[in-house]
Amino acid sequence: MNLSSVSLRDVLAHRRVRAVFHLLTGTAATLALTLLSIALVARLLTPAPYGVFAMILTLGQACERLLSFQSWQPLIRSGATIDLQRDEASYFALLKFGWLLDIGGSVAAWAIASALTIAGHFLFGISLEHVGYTLLFVTSLLFNFNGVSTAIFRLAGQYRAVAHIQVVNALIRLLCVAGAYLAGAGMVHIIIIWTITQILGSLLNFAWAMRLLPKPGFRQLLKASTKGINSRFPDIWRFALGSNISLTLWSSAQAVDTLIVGWLADPASAGLFHIAKRISRVVMQVGAQVQAVVYPDLSRLVAAGKRHAFVRVLLQTEMLLAAFGVCCFIGMLLVGGPLMRIAVGPHFAGAVPLLTVQILAVTLTMSGSASRAGLLALGDQRALLKTTMACTLAFYCAVFPLVPLIGAMGANIAHLLFGVIWLGGLAFYLRRAISAARWADASEKSVER
Q: Residues 358-409: pLDDT tens digits? A: 888 888 888 888 888 888 888 887 888 899 899 999 999 999 999 999 988 9
Q: pLDDT value at position 22?
A: 59
Q: Residues 64-121: pLDDT tens digits? A: 887 777 787 788 878 877 777 777 888 888 899 889 989 998 999 999 999 999 999 9
Q: pLDDT value at position 301?
A: 86
Query: Does the residue 325 lie in any domain?
Result: yes
Query: Does the residue 445 lie in any domain?
Result: no
Q: pLDDT value at position 247?
A: 73
DSSP for 288-313? HHHHHHHHHHHHHHHHHT-HHHHHHH
pLDDT at 3 > cutoff 50? no
Find out whether 199 and 64 touch, Cβ atoms under 8 Å. no
Residue 235's CB is within 10 A of a number of other CB atoms, namely 14
In this prediction, residue 8 has a pLDDT band, given cuts at 50, 70 and 90, of very low
Q: pLDDT value at position 27?
A: 65
Q: Which residues of 271-287 are buried (b: 16+ CB within 10 A; e: fewer)?
A: bbbbbbbbbbbbbbbbb
Taking each helix axis from N to C end, the angle separating 257-264 and 381-406, rounded to the nearest 10 degrees, works out to 20
- The number of domains in the chain is 1
d(CA 411, CA 403): 6
Q: Residues 317-349: pLDDT tens digits? A: 888 888 888 887 888 788 777 877 776 767 777
Tell which wins on pLDDT, 223 or 73.
223
Q: Residues 226-255: pLDDT tens digits? A: 888 878 887 788 777 776 777 777 777 877
Q: Which residues of 48-64 are buried (b: 16+ CB within 10 A; e: fewer)?
A: ebbbbbbbbbbbbbbbb
Query: Does the residue 267 lie in any domain?
Result: yes
Find out whether 427 and 371 touch, Cβ atoms under 8 Å. yes
pLDDT at 36 > cutoff 50? yes
pLDDT at 442 > cutoff 70? no
Q: Residues 153-182: pLDDT tens digits? A: 878 777 677 778 888 888 999 999 999 999
Q: pLDDT value at position 21?
A: 62
Query: Does the residue 54 lie in any domain?
Result: yes
pLDDT at 351 > cutoff 90? no
Q: Residues 45-65: pLDDT tens digits? A: 877 888 889 889 989 988 888
pLDDT at 193 > cutoff 90? yes
Query: Does the residue 441 lie in any domain?
Result: no
Q: pLDDT value at position 400?
A: 94
Give the CB-side neighbour count of residue 366, counting CA atoms within 13 A: 27
**Residue span of the structural domain in which 94 resides:** 3-436
d(CA 164, CA 434): 36
Query: Does the residue 444 lie in any domain?
Result: no
Q: Using CA of residue 391, residue 397, residue 402, residue 408, what is the dihedral sign?
A: positive
Burial of 412 (0-12, 13-18, 19+ CB in 10 A): buried
Q: pLDDT value at position 229?
A: 84
Query: Does the residue 94 lie in any domain?
Result: yes
Q: Residues 272-320: pLDDT tens digits? A: 888 888 777 767 777 777 776 787 788 888 888 888 888 888 888 888 8
Mean pLDDT (the chain, rounded): 82
